[in-house]
A and B are shown apart, each in its own frame.
Chain A
């Protein structure tokens, strides 16, 4: 490690490093900043490129809120994302527990089948799934949005890694105390792994909140859709109302942005860890 930076804090290389990172940070942040600033500018100012509004106004938010069923779509998005996340977390806890608790015939085959699902792009299987959803009469319903996504192979594999590191001795001790397998899972393993389960849960929530493709297929009306699809429909109908569009975009991003503000450390870690697997 080059510890010399302590001595000459403003060495050329240090300045360069910061310059590069600031440039990258600016590139990442600016679109977001511009979205929020535009949404707060008054109509007259939108087209000039001043970096701050002279007259702050929430008019665009009001307009966006009134012109599309925003509350309804936000509600749908929250409902779908929460339910989907809970289902994915529970199913993958059960699976990860089975894989780490017992040696059983076919375990590596089953694990392989779960792992291989990431090789199946969504577009390859969309038509048969769409047909099934239509046959069930689940188009334009929240059921149709949630049910095909109750399992996440990614979550199973992530949780498997977390469960694998759980000390076998603790499970053995609980077993000798006469605890059943079910209660070992929820009373011994689960409380100890809460942190990693929660961070995977947040990641799943963000993924499902941002999902656009499946709602695009399954829903046709704004009232039955999630906020992402609604935003896209708003975009294609109101081509040049940039203020309200940026307001709607800000609203659609807000829950995830708030989560990120509160928990960015955990979110980044779980994404990066997930990527490294």
Chain B
């Protein structure tokens, strides 16, 4: 970043330029002026320190304790036992596997279909483009609870329009119970998560496409490249920073995004088939009140999160020479 280097060089060159004796004689207002940036930053700093970094440290601490969230009951130090316990819980295995399913299940909605559509519809008229943009982006601004409510109605086993349509088109022998059949529930939730996301990702990729220099395509045309070759060797490489960014976003947050739908529509059921790791945290914290377990799982998530993010950032840096 440009800014960082400027700041760094500023602090480096300062002591050299000014002799120490002069510094001591600086008038009070000047010294106060040095505090100014920190004053402007104070609200932000205090708030993130108190509402994000303090609880983060406390979560680490609580992961070594046994506690039931009641202010009157004591916290008991148990060392690593919480971690050992959650590692052996079958629920944990299910939740981790489901988290993986959500993460993979969202990929078509966050990457594959949006990239295909963005490439396919690249050169479309400006006016119709704006209309489509407005339409396909709409799910993104809807509240997750409202979205859950509407899809629950649409996907209702007997009265929902989706089952009615499927039945009249394909003549299903019995309606699909989208949220209560354990084979379907997780995919229904994944679909809703993806439905909300797909327009947004498409627009992100379209925006990235418009940033690509048209001369590359002209050059490819002169070289008689086929459409597929152009996509494979020009478009996709040039999109790679955006692809990586969206991949990171959806890997890290797919399960978190689906939390609201899980909580509203299935409560983790049937038979834990929709419980992902975030829902498990919530369950341990506020339903069974096993704060230690919840915190231990939270610590593991946080570390896993950090490793994944770091991996993506490294990958981005490696590929960033395309971004020129």
Q: Do A103 and B306 touch across chains, with their CB atoms under 8 A apart?
A: no
Determine how close the nearest CB of chain B comes to the CB of A165; give it in whole angstroms. Answer: 12
B153 lies within 8 A of A124 (CB):
no
Q: Which residues of the other chain, B, contact A78 by a CB distance below 8 angstroms?
A: none
**B204-A275 in contact (CB<8A):** yes
- The answer to whether A264 touches B142 (Cβ under 8 A) is no
Task: Knowing that A21-B136, A256-B143 touch, tell me 14 more A-B residue pairs with CB under 8 angstroms.
Answer: A16-B120, A18-B128, A49-B165, A107-B37, A110-B41, A117-B52, A123-B256, A125-B51, A125-B298, A126-B55, A127-B295, A135-B71, A228-B144, A229-B145
Looking across the interface, which residue of chain B has its beta carbon closest to that of A98? B40
Contact (Cβ within 8 A) A213 B309: no
* A113 close to chain B: CB less than 8 A: yes
CA A5 to CA B36, docked complex, whole Å: 58
User: Within the complex, what minimum Cβ distance (angstroms) separates B50 from chain A?
Assistant: 8
Contact with B along A91-119 (1 / 0, CB 8 A): 11011011101111101101101100101
CA distance A28 to B140 in the complex (A): 9
Are A268's CB and B137's CB within 8 A?
Answer: yes
- Quick check: is B273 within 8 A (CB to CB) of the other chain? no
Q: Which residues of B contact A265 (CB under 8 A)?
A: 130
Contact B164 A245 (CB under 8 A): no
Minimal beta-carbon separation of A276 from chain B (angstroms): 7
A108 near B135 with CB under 8 A, answer no
Contact with A along B105-149 (1 / 0, CB 8 A): 000000000000100110111001010111111111111111111
Q: Is the CB of B291 within 8 A of A2?
A: no
Q: Are A49 and B142 in contact (CB under 8 A)?
A: no
Does A183 have its Cβ within 8 Å of any Cβ on chain B? no
Q: Which residues of A, 249-277, contact B by the 8 Å Cβ criterion?
A: 249, 252-253, 256-257, 260, 264-265, 267-268, 271-272, 275-276
Residues of B within 8 Å of A245, CB to CB, are 149, 153
Within 8 A of A (CB), among B1-55: 1, 3-4, 6-8, 10-11, 34, 36-38, 40-41, 43-45, 47-48, 51-55
- Cβ of A1 < 8 Å from any Cβ of B? yes
Query: Which residue of chain B lies nearest to A215 when distances are taken between CB atoms in the complex?
Result: B145
A contact set with B: CB distance below 8 Å:
1-2, 5, 16-18, 20-21, 24-25, 27-29, 31-32, 34-35, 38, 46-47, 49, 90-92, 94-95, 97-99, 101-105, 107-108, 110-111, 113-114, 117, 119-132, 134-135, 148-151, 153, 156, 164, 181, 206, 209-210, 212-213, 216-217, 228-229, 231-232, 235, 242, 245-246, 248-249, 252-253, 256-257, 260, 264-265, 267-268, 271-272, 275-276
Can you list 9 A-B pairs with a CB-CB distance of less than 8 A?
A: A17-B120, A24-B198, A103-B7, A119-B309, A127-B291, A228-B146, A242-B156, A246-B149, A265-B130
Q: Which residues of B contact A132 (CB under 8 A)?
A: 55
Binds A, one of B90-98, B173-181, B232-240, B279-287: B279-287
Assess the A256–B142 pair: CB atoms within 8 A. Answer: yes
- The chain B residue with its CB closest to the CB of A112 is B4
Selected from A21, A127, A131, A216, the residue in CB contact (under 8 A) with B294 is: A127
The stretch among B77-85, B182-190, B259-267, B314-322 that forms the contact with chain A is B259-267
Question: How far does the alpha carbon of A271 sit from the alpha carbon of B48 in the complex, in Å?
Answer: 23
Contacts of A107 in B (CB 8 A): 3, 7, 37
* Contact among B51, B56, B150, B264 with A34 in the assembled complex (CB-CB below 8 Å): B150
Q: Is A28 touching B117 in the complex (CB atoms < 8 A)?
A: no
CA gap between A49 and B58 in the complex, in Å: 53
Mark each residue of chain B from 54 to 82: 1 if its CB lies under 8 Å from any CB of chain A, else 0.
Answer: 11101100100000010100000000000
B199 touches A28 (CB 8 A): yes
The main secondary structure of chain A at its interface with chain B is helix
* A34 x B161 contact (CB < 8 A): yes
Report the Cα distance A34→B153, complex, angstroms.
9
* Contact between A246 and B141, CB atoms less than 8 A apart: no
Q: How far is the CA of A235 from the CA of B208 in the complex (A)?
A: 40
Evaluate whether A210 and B142 lie within 8 angstroms (CB atoms) in the complex, with A21-B124, A246-B149 already known.
Answer: yes
List the A residue with the shortest CB-CB distance to B54.
Answer: A128
Q: Which of A92, A110, A148, A231 contacts B51 (CB 8 A)?
A: A148
Taken together as a complex, chains A and B put the C-alpha atoms of A107 and B34 apart, in Å, by: 13
A246→B43 CA distance, assembly (Å): 41
Bound-state CA distance A110–B220 (Å) is 46
Whether A24 touches B291, Cβ cut-off 8 Å, given contacts A151-B43, A275-B204, is no
B207 close to A276 (CB less than 8 A): yes
